[in-house]
Amino acid sequence: MRKNIEEWMENIPGGMIIFRADDSSEIVYANRRAMEIYGCFSMEELLKLTGKSFIGGIFEEDRYRAEKGIWGQIDTGKRNYDHVVFRVHTKNGTMRQLDAFGRLTDDPDFGFVFYVFLADNDHVLGGYQARRAAFEHFMCEGETNGKDLPEPGYKGYLYFNLSKSAPVLKYDGIRYIPAGEEKTYTYDDHFEFLTSRMFNDEDRRTAQKFSRNRLLTYYQSGKRTLQTNLRYLCRGGWVNIHTDFTMTENPDTGDVIVLVQNENNSTEMLFERIIGTVISDLFEKLIYIDGPADVVLVEDHRGEEPVRVKASFRASTRRICLETGLSEEKPEDFLVTLGNVAADEEKVGWTFRKDGRIKLAQLREPYRGSGQFFILLNDITDRVEEYMDRSETNSPESEKSSALAHEYFTVIEIDVKERKIKPYKIYDNSPQILVDLINEGDYDKVCRAFTRYMVSGRYQKTFAKYSQLDYMAKRLSEIPTYDYIFESSSGFFTKFRAVRMKEINGEVTRMIVGFSDCDQEVRNYNKVYQESMTDELTGLNNRFGLREDFNGFPGRTLVIGRFDIDEFRRINDQCGHDAGDAALRDYAQLLRKSFQEMNIYRYGSDEFLIIGDYLPGAFEQSIAAYQSGLESMTVLGTEQKLSASVGYVTAYCESNEMLRHMLRASGQNLQKVKNNGKRGIFGCIYREEN
C-alpha cells in the first residue's frame, strides 16, 4: 500500500516533500518533481543542497518569515494546514519562488511530519523582482541640495520603517538629529521633536494626522502619498516647510517604509520684484511680513537712496503697528487680524496720523492664507489739503467738503440719523435718474441706484456692503476715514472715501462721502504685480507665475517637463557670469521656440519647467526640435557645447494634488538622468502607484 502511495506521489503535477515537524525539519521524502524544482537529480543532491533541512533550503531572507508563517497558521487554524510563499536557491544558482501548501499529520513511521505540496511560481518571482527594483528606486528618490533649513528652496529627506520602531534608515540634508543619536532616532522621536518646534496649536493639531500609527492606517486603506505645510521654529526664526510623505512596502520583509521629503517654500522673490522703480513712485514705504518665517522686510524710499531693513516679525510687531496706525496685538493675533482684513476687505485702505502727517496704508495678501502680507504706505497730507489736521471747531464743514470737492468728482454729505444727503458736487455723466434721487436726498434710494447704474457687476455685492450707512458709521467711529476701490460700470477703477465729520458720544452723526478717479494708480500697481510674476533675465514666468496659473491645469492631459542646464556653476566659475546669463537667455529662447504651445517657467537658478497639453506626436516633434537646437548651442565666447538634462511625465491630471505629484515625479525623472551621467532625456507615463 505504501509503495502504491509513493508511486502516486511521483505522478502528481507538482513537488511533494515530507519533513519532520521538529527543530531539525529533516527531509524524509521528496518526489522527483520536487528534486527538479531545486535543480537536483537525486535525493542525495537535494539533501546536500538543503543540509537535509526543509527550512534550511529556504532563502535566508525568507527563512524566519516562512517558519513563523507555518507554525503561526497551524497554531491559529482550525485544521493543521498552512500556506506560505518563499524563495529557494537551486543547485545551478538561480532563484525560484514557491507556493507551499502543507499539512501536519502523525505518520506511523516518522511521527509528526509535514506533508508539503510545492508549486513553482516563476511569474510571481518575476513580479517580486519588479517590486524589488521599484523599491530600490524608491530608496533613492529622496532629494537634497546642500542648503540649510532656514534657506528658501532647502530640501532634505529621511526614510523610516513605519512597521517597526526602528532607527532612521537613511537621511540627507537633515541637521537637527542630535549628534550620536542617529542609530536610535526613530520616526516616533522625529514626530515628537518636530511637534515640539511647531508654530502654534493649529499646526500641532494638523501634525497629529501624520503620526506613525495614522500613516500606517492611511497605507492600509490604500493611500500611499500625503502632504502638508507646517511652520517650525529653527535657527534664524520661523520657517514654512512643505512635507511629502510617500509610502511603499519592502517586498522582502513586508514592512511599510516612508520617505519624508521636506522643502522650505518660503521666499523673498516677490519682495525683490515688487520694490522696483514704479513702486518707489507710488509709495514711500513698503512693509513685507512673512509670519510663518518670522521675517519682516521694510523698503523706505523717502531718502535719495532706498533703505532696506530686515528683522524678526515677532520682535517687530509693536513697531509695525506704530508705522501702520493699527492697534498693537500679539504677533499671532496680529496675523489673524491682517488675514481677516485681507479676506473681507480686499483693496481696502485706511488713513492715520503719524508725526503730524496724514498717512494712507493699503494691505495686500499675495496668496490667501499664506501668512504673507504687503502693507504699502504713502503720505497724502498735501493731497487732502490738510483738512484732517484741523479740529471740528476750527474747520468749517464747508471747507472740508471743498477740500474733497477739489479732488473728487462726486461729493455728498450724509446726515446719519435722518439718512438724508446733501450734494456738493455731482458727476457730470451721471444718469439722470441718479441725479434726481440725489437731489431728493434719500440715502438708501441713492445707494441702491448708484450700485445698479455706476458699479460693475462683479463689484456690486461688495460695494453694497461697504456703502451701507450703518456699516460706514461703525467704521468711522473707529477710524476718521476709510477707502474702498471698485470698478465702475464703464470699466474704470474708482475710489470711494468716507470721512467722519461730526461725532456725539462716540456715535457718528454726519459724514462726507467722495468718489475720485484712481484708475491709473490701480493699473500701475497691477502692472508691478504682474512684473513680479516674471523672471527679469529670461522674460519667462517664474514660480509666482506658476502659482497664478496652477488652478488652470487640472482637468487636462498634461506633459510636465523639467529641464536643467548641465554644469551651470562651472560655466559661471570658468567663463564668468555674463556667459552664464547669456546661456540662460539663449536656453530660454530655445525652449520658447521648441515648445511654442506650452507654458514655460524659470523654475530655479538653472532649471526650467514646461507644462502644457500632451498631444502624442506633437510633443515628440517638439523634443526633436529642442535637441536639434541644443546641439548647435555654445557658451558665450567659447567653443564649449551647452548640454542639459530633461525629465518629464505625462498623464491626465485630475486635481491640484495630482499636479503637485506630477511635478515631483518629473523632478525624479530629471534626477535619474543626472545620476546617469547627465546629457539625456527620460520620460514616462505618470501613475500614482509608482
In this structure, the strands spanning 372-379 and 493-504 are unpaired
513: closest CA among 523, 500, 527, 502? Answer: 500
Indicate the angle between helix axes 568-575 and 577-594, nearest 10 degrees: 140
- Residue 58: how many other CB atoms lie within 10 Å: 23
In whole angstroms, give the CA distance from residue 511 to residue 516.
Answer: 17
What cell does 188 get? 516616533
In whole angstroms, give the CA distance from residue 115 to residue 452.
Answer: 89
User: What would the pLDDT profile of 3-24 be if each residue is shown by its tens digit?
Assistant: 556 667 777 777 889 888 888 8
Q: Is 632 exposed, middle or buried (0-12, 13-18, 19+ CB in 10 A)?
A: exposed
Taking residues 106-128, what's their average pLDDT? Answer: 72
Q: Is residue 387 part of a domain?
A: no
Residue 227 reports pLDDT greater than 80: yes
Eight-state DSSP code of residue 552:
G
pLDDT value at residue 6: 67
Residue 63 reports pLDDT greater than 80: yes
Question: Which residue, chain included where needed, has cell 533541512?
Answer: 53
CB 194 within 8 A of CB 178: no
Three-class secondary structure of residue 260 per DSSP = strand
User: What would the pLDDT profile of 251-271 be if each residue is shown by its tens digit?
Assistant: 877 889 999 998 876 544 445
In whole angstroms, give the CA distance from residue 610 to residue 236.
Answer: 34
Q: Is residue 391 part of a domain?
A: no
Percentage, residues of the chain above pLDDT 70: 84
Three-class secondary structure of residue 251 per DSSP = coil
Output the DSSP codes for 60-117: HHHHHHHHHHHHHHHHHSSSSEEEEEEEEE-TTS-EEEEEEEEEEEEETTTEEEEEEE
Residue 232 reports pLDDT greater than 60: yes
In whole angstroms, give the CA distance from residue 495 to residue 514.
Answer: 8
User: What would the pLDDT profile of 584-607 be if each residue is shown by its tens digit?
Assistant: 999 999 999 999 889 999 988 789
State which H helix or E strand residue 202 sits in.
Answer: helix 201-207
CB 313 within 8 A of CB 333: no
Report, in angstroms and rounded to the nearest whole number, the Rg of the chain calculated over CA atoms: 36
Q: Which of 264, 288, 322 is the last residue of a domain?
A: 264
**CA dist list (Å): 238 to 234, 264, 314, 455:** 6, 11, 10, 43
User: What would the pLDDT profile of 349-359 be if each residue is shown by its tens digit?
Assistant: 677 777 767 78
CB 669 within 8 A of CB 648: yes
Q: Is residue 49 part of a domain?
A: yes
The answer for 555, left when phi > 0, alpha when psi is -120 to 50, beta otherwise, is left
Q: Between 570 and 4, whose confidence is greater?
A: 570
Q: Is residue 42 part of a domain?
A: yes
CB 654 within 8 A of CB 549: no
| Sheet containing 507-517, strands listed edge to edge, beginning at the edge strand earlier in sequence | 307-311, 295-300, 285-290, 372-379, 357-364, 349-354, 481-487, 493-504, 507-517, 410-415, 420-425
Torsion of CA 350, 352, 354, 358, to 10 degrees: 90
In this structure, the strands spanning 256-264 and 155-161 are antiparallel
pLDDT value at residue 195: 85
**CA dist list (Å): 414 to 434, 473, 510, 511, 615:** 16, 10, 6, 5, 62
| Sheet containing 27-30, strands listed edge to edge, beginning at the edge strand earlier in sequence | 27-30, 15-20, 111-120, 95-107, 81-89
Q: Between 365 and 87, whose confidence is greater?
A: 87
Residues 499 and 636 in one domain: no
Angle in degrees, CA 277, 283, 288, rounded to 5: 90
CB 190 within 8 A of CB 182: no
Q: Between 111 and 599, whose confidence is greater?
A: 599
Q: Which of 493, 524, 555 is the last residue of a domain?
A: 524
In whole angstroms, give the CA distance from residue 641 to residue 375.
Answer: 47
What's phi and psi for 283, nearest 5 deg?
-135, 140
In this structure, the strands spanning 155-161 and 27-30 are unpaired
What cell does 548 get? 497664478
pLDDT value at residue 558: 93
Q: Is residue 389 part of a domain?
A: no
pTM: 0.36
Residues 254 and 151 in one domain: yes
Residues 570 and 618 in one domain: yes
pLDDT value at residue 277: 37
Q: Which of 88, 120, 152 is the last residue of a domain?
A: 120
- Secondary structure of 312-345 as H, E, C letters: CHHHHHHHHHHHHCCCCCCHHHHHHHHHHHHHHC
Residues 467 and 607 in one domain: no
Mean pLDDT of the chain: 80
Residues 244 and 139 in one domain: yes
Which CATH number characterizes residue 57's domain?
Answer: 3.30.450.20
User: What would the pLDDT profile of 641-679 be if each residue is shown by its tens digit?
Assistant: 889 999 999 999 988 889 989 999 999 999 999 888 888
Q: Is residue 81 part of a domain?
A: yes
Which CATH number characterizes residue 584's domain?
Answer: 3.30.70.270
pLDDT value at residue 603: 86
Greatest mean pLDDT among 211-215, 269-273, 381-385: 211-215
Q: Between 57 and 305, whose confidence is greater?
A: 57
pLDDT value at residue 587: 93
Residues 638 and 666 in one domain: yes
In this structure, the chain runs to a length of 690
Measured in whole angstroms, the distance separating CA 131 from the mean position of its chain's CA atoms is 29
CB 388 within 8 A of CB 481: yes
Question: Which residue, chain included where needed, has cell 543532491?
Answer: 45
Residues 241 and 259 in one domain: yes
In whole angstroms, give the CA distance from residue 316 to residue 609.
Answer: 38
Taking residues 109-135, what's their average pLDDT? Answer: 72
CB 150 within 8 A of CB 236: yes
Domain that holds residue 331: 269-379
Which CATH number characterizes residue 339's domain?
Answer: 3.30.450
Residues 482 and 537 in one domain: no
Residues 49 and 92 in one domain: yes
pLDDT value at residue 81: 67
User: What would the pLDDT profile of 303-337 be if each residue is shown by its tens digit?
Assistant: 767 777 888 888 888 888 888 888 888 888 888 88
Measured in whole angstroms, the distance separating CA 239 from the mean position of its chain's CA atoms is 14
Residues 49 and 98 in one domain: yes
Residue 80 reports pLDDT greater than 70: no
Q: Is residue 353 part of a domain?
A: yes
- Residue 338: how many other CB atoms lie within 10 Å: 22
Greatest mean pLDDT among 163-167, 220-224, 288-292, 380-384: 163-167
CB 563 within 8 A of CB 610: yes
Residues 299 and 410 in one domain: no
Residues 670 and 540 in one domain: yes
Eight-state DSSP code of residue 648:
E
pLDDT value at residue 369: 63
What cell does 449 get? 441706484
Q: Is residue 126 part of a domain?
A: no
Question: Which residue, chain included where needed, has cell 517687530?
Answer: 316
User: What would the pLDDT profile of 498-555 be if each residue is shown by its tens digit?
Assistant: 888 777 777 888 888 888 888 887 777 666 666 667 888 888 888 878 877 888 898 8
Tally the domains of the chain: 5
pLDDT value at residue 169: 92
In whole angstroms, give the CA distance from residue 615 to residue 618.
Answer: 5
